[in-house]
Structure 1
Amino acid sequence: MDQVYLRPIGFAASPQSEHGGAVRLAGGMIYAHRFAIIRRSGAEIVSRTLVSADGMAEALGCLPDDVAADAEAQWGALRFAHPAIQLGERTIRLDQPQIMGVLNVTPDSFSDGGDFLDDPDAGRAHAAAMLEAGAAIVDIGGESTRPGAAATWEGDELKRVLPAVKYCSAMGAAISVDTRRPAVMEAALDAGAHIINDVSALRHDPRSLELVAARGCMVILMHAPGSGADLHANSEYGNVVLDVFDWLKSARDRAVVAGVARERIILDPGIGFGKSLSDNLALLNALPLLHALGQPLLLGASRKRMIGALSNEAPAAERLGGSVALAIAGMDAGVQLLRVHDVAASVQARNVWRGLRDAALTDFSDIPED
């Protein structure tokens, strides 16, 4: 069966710089005026047609019937403005990038494992500092999912996560919990969490789908090639960008069929999970394509090994510059949520980036008058 993909490839600082011939991607601050319509049959790309925003209707009308409806849906998704999400007392707008701060309560996470596990006062202070610095959401994790990490017993994960959820909830924080286990999901939601961030995309335990659907909470579905205990396994791709797109589409549809409301689903390409350096770079360069799935996007690239691979193997604690660079790449792609360890630096980068985008919208100096 042939498949079709609408990939934005040409970007403008503002719609007026293209005399109105640009579309606003996903209701954010990125404008695209040129697109590639890609068709593939199996693993083989059979055509790639370049088209302007103004010429899209005509181009879609020329597509074969077996892909035309999907292409139309993707074109609508690229232009869909995502509404704000309500997380407890907090309203998170998705018309600009938002920062999700990481709070690991684990002994073995690659970056900050052990820093906040047995010291709730330190964890509370870190969460408060992230919120004060401008984090929109705090993401709490009680199990390391780095390559080679040992599985965590459910009871241990509960003991790690629940105190952190409770003290973050007491601060009025919007809370995400990074877990694969339905018992942890349920207890965390009961304790005040608002989002389930599942690196297995609700595949680790079949009960997770039913639980998330019944609770009506937001859920983040992340791409990882492994289906068992090792999420990094089975990492063979025909075309990593298009394969991840198809996988996320299937994960979204599986959740919707199970009763999860589509407007409650966020998608994450899973940078670093079962992907080589070249795979990660290809995905990062192709992030705007994922807006064609019609869901808000999350990017989690902070301090990941690819930064070290490009920086003389800099250790995790010395990857701030690379982390900010990847966060800005996500902003330039229109990603709505950026999961980071260094909140203050990322918020500052976002604010400067936002200033540049705002200024571009009001800069008419190089546009001649009629």
Structure 2
Amino acid sequence: MSDGEMEYRRLGASGLMVPALSFGTATFANGSGAGSWGDVQVDEARRLVDIALDTGLNFFDTADVYADGRSEEVLGTALGSRRDRALIGTKLNGRTGGGANDVGSSRFHVLRAVEASLRRLDTDWIDVYWLHGFDAITPVDEVLSTLDELVRSGKVRYIGASNFSGWHLMKSLAASDRHGWARHVAHQAFYSLAAREYEWELMPLAVDQGVGTVVWSPLAQSRLSGKIRRGAPRPADSRLAVRGETEKTDDEQLLRIVDVLDGLAEETGRTIPQIAINWVLSRPTVSSVILGARTEGQLRENLGAIGWSLTPEQLHRLDRASAVTPIYPYWHQLEQVGARNPFPTGLQPEDPGA
């Protein structure tokens, strides 16, 4: 694969091939509900979709809660007659109205949500339908039997989970296997150099069960964008001015990671975001990384994260800088790593105190 040429990977153990980079539309129509994420309207969205499709990035991610459904509408309009060239993933589970049943993964809500998403996206099918979170109130058999019916009907091609705990995902997979229902082929998860908790339980589970990882926020919501530097204040004119809700890494460790990224940028001639995304793409189970872009320039820069590889030594430096001591029982399991409890291939435990 040459520099910049799109790579395609299997989505977990399914037969679906997806691009290593996919496009997130949380910036469409003020999709996050916060202006700092972006407010990309139809004309701009159509241009971004043009660029994506021209480079082979044909997997688009949205959700019914982004801008109260307007993100789906903008994406559907921007794709227009090119729907057959695209893979669309959308999500349900969040609150979409004021009623008692306008939230969660009940049969009632799933069936209403899928019809609403199909209408807004102006399509007859959804390629990957994600549960945006786990619904502990609704029985998993009710959830998965309903999703299986949607797959059998052709309205949905594959199903996936997002933001599940390990037991949430395993319980769901076991129910699907027990009844012969469609199973989650992928898990959409928060994962980056600044947030490696996914590796503790969910990544080994994904290896064992053949579940692909679709990563959201590979730049830790812009904290690995190169805008934060040691000795400099956070930019006052962006959401980086305050600590975000997903910002779990302490300032000193974040700066250690950025120091290494800075050094690698000089060595490789790549940008900090490109290196951070490339690192995520090198991890076990990762099928695709979702890119968010408000502008053509941001999209084109992030597309430069593929077609090349960091060396093992460079990867090791990033691993060391970003390593943290896991919580129990994972730190205990690390002490027992060996033939009976191996780490995923290509992933070695790091001692942050070494």
Q: Same fold (TM over 0.5)?
A: no
TM-score (norm 2): 0.41
TM-score (norm 1): 0.40
